[in-house]
């Protein structure tokens, strides 16, 4: 933690949203940061510049996040981004924008919870050791995207680990299927999305081999759980210009 320099000036985009509210509280609770702007839908984004924000946290919506980031990068404001919906095309566009503002840092993390980061890591470690791997993600029904960003990232990590290990194709004799019954195919990994009132954010990675299964499960039971990871991202972002994908790159994990 920085104890000698002035507090980092932080703005939150999506400040009145379910996660944004928690992030505002987390920033206000620490002494090495000052919350200088709380911006939500309908508020002018120019307030970021007027408030002197050095770093922005974005928990908004996949439809608006690219415009927000373009504004931040063009104004040299670092960004720590939890909003989902990033595909290769969007990441390439961010790379182009950052090339014109080389001192600016952008962190995109599908999940800021430490347990979810470990769940992804353990799943990737285990995936080459089992014949079958499928993902079930379960969320509240107000979620915009399916599958979740976390499930998409987990599938990519599993697929990469299995390619690296030359794992054979997973067994699946399905020859007759109602559309969607086997979930979405993300990089060769089946992902099933559940949307049920009362849930927050949950994911199971189910691995299976001869005579056994292993289930790795993570549960977010309160959105306050995303706060510590976002603070860690904010503390690291100034020292990491360019694009970083995944909070794990800023953490000291074993």
Ligand X SMILES: NC(=O)C1=CN([C@@H]2O[C@H](COP(=O)(O)OP(=O)(O)OC[C@H]3O[C@@H](n4cnc5c(N)ncnc54)[C@H](OP(=O)(O)O)[C@@H]3O)[C@@H](O)[C@H]2O)C=CC1
Q: Among all residues, which ones are annotated catalytic?
A: 139, 143
* Window 149 to 208, contacts with ligand X (CB under 6 A): 149
**Residue the block writes with tokens 């120019």:** 46
* Residue 60 interacts with which of ligand LZUJQKHR, ligand X, none, CB < 5 to 8 Å by class: ligand X
250 touches ligand X (CB under 6 A):
no
Nearest 5°: the CA angle 30, 222, 246 is 70
* Residue 13 interacts with which of ligand LZUJQKHR, ligand X, none, CB < 5 to 8 Å by class: ligand X
Q: Residue 50: enclosing H or E segment and its boundaries?
A: helix 47-50
* Residue 54 interacts with which of ligand X, ligand LZUJQKHR, none, CB < 5 to 8 Å by class: none
- How far, rounded to the nearest angstrom, does the alpha carbon of residue 45 sit from its chain's CA centroid? 22
* Residue 139 interacts with which of ligand LZUJQKHR, ligand X, none, CB < 5 to 8 Å by class: ligand LZUJQKHR
* Window 53 to 112, contacts with ligand X (CB under 6 A): 59-62, 64, 82-84, 109-112
* Window 199 to 218, contacts with ligand LZUJQKHR (CB under 6 A): 201
In the complex with ligand LZUJQKHR, the residue whose CB is nearer, 80 or 201, is 201
80 touches ligand LZUJQKHR (CB under 6 A):
no
Give how far Cα 168 sits from Cα of 82, 131, 132, Å.
34, 8, 10
149 touches ligand LZUJQKHR (CB under 6 A):
yes
Is 244 annotated as a binding-site member? no
User: Per the structure block, which two tokens stand in for 150?
Assistant: 């976390």
User: At how many degrees (to 10) do helices 65-74 and 88-99 cross?
Assistant: 10
Question: What is d(CA 162, CA 6) in angstroms, rounded to the nearest whole number?
Answer: 46
Question: What is d(CA 123, CA 106) in angstroms, rounded to the nearest whole number?
Answer: 26
Q: Exposed e or buried b for every residue in 145-165, given b needs 16+ CB within 10 A? A: eebbbbbbbbbbbbbebbeee
Are 20 and 68 in contact by the 8 Å Cβ rule? The answer is no
In the complex with ligand LZUJQKHR, the residue whose CB is nearer, 72 or 81, is 81
Are 215 and 204 in contact by the 8 Å Cβ rule? The answer is yes
110 touches ligand LZUJQKHR (CB under 6 A):
yes
150 touches ligand LZUJQKHR (CB under 6 A):
yes
Give how far Cα 39 sits from Cα of 18, 59, 60, Å.
13, 11, 10
State the residues that interact with ligand X by CB under 6 A: 13-14, 16-20, 39-41, 59-62, 64, 82-84, 109-112, 149, 226
Residues contributing to the site for ligand LZUJQKHR (CB under 6 A) = 84, 110-111, 139, 143, 148-150, 201
């Amino acid at each position: 933690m920085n104890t000698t320099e002035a507090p980092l000036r932080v703005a939150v985009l999506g400040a009145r949203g379910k996660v944004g509210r928690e992030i505002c509280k987390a920033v206000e609770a620490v002494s090495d940061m000052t919350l200088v702007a709380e911006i939500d839908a309908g508020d002018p984004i120019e307030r970021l510049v007027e408030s002197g924000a050095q770093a922005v946290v974005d928990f908004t919506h996949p439809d608006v996040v690219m415009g927000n980031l373009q504004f931040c990068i063009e104004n040299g404001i670092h960004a720590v981004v939890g909003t989902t919906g990033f595909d290769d095309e969007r990441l390439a566009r961010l790379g182009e924008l950052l090339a014109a503002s080389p001192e600016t840092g952008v962190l995109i993390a599908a999940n800021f919870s430490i347990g979810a980061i470990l769940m992804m890591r353990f799943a990737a470690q285990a995936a080459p050791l089992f014949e079958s791997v499928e993902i079930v993600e379960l969320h509240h029904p107000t979620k915009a995207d399916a599958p979740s960003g976390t499930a998409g990232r987990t599938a990519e990590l599993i697929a990469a680990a299995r390619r690296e290990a030359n794992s054979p194709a997973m067994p699946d004799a399905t020859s007759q299927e109602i559309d969607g019954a086997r979930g979405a195919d993300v990089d060769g990994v089946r992902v099933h999305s559940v949307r049920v009132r009362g849930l927050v954010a949950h994911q199971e990675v189910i691995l299976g081999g001869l005579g056994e299964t292993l289930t790795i499960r993570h549960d977010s039971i309160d959105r306050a759980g995303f706060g510590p990871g976002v603070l860690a991202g904010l503390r690291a972002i100034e020292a990491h210009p360019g694009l970083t994908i995944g909070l794990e790159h800023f953490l000291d994990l074993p």
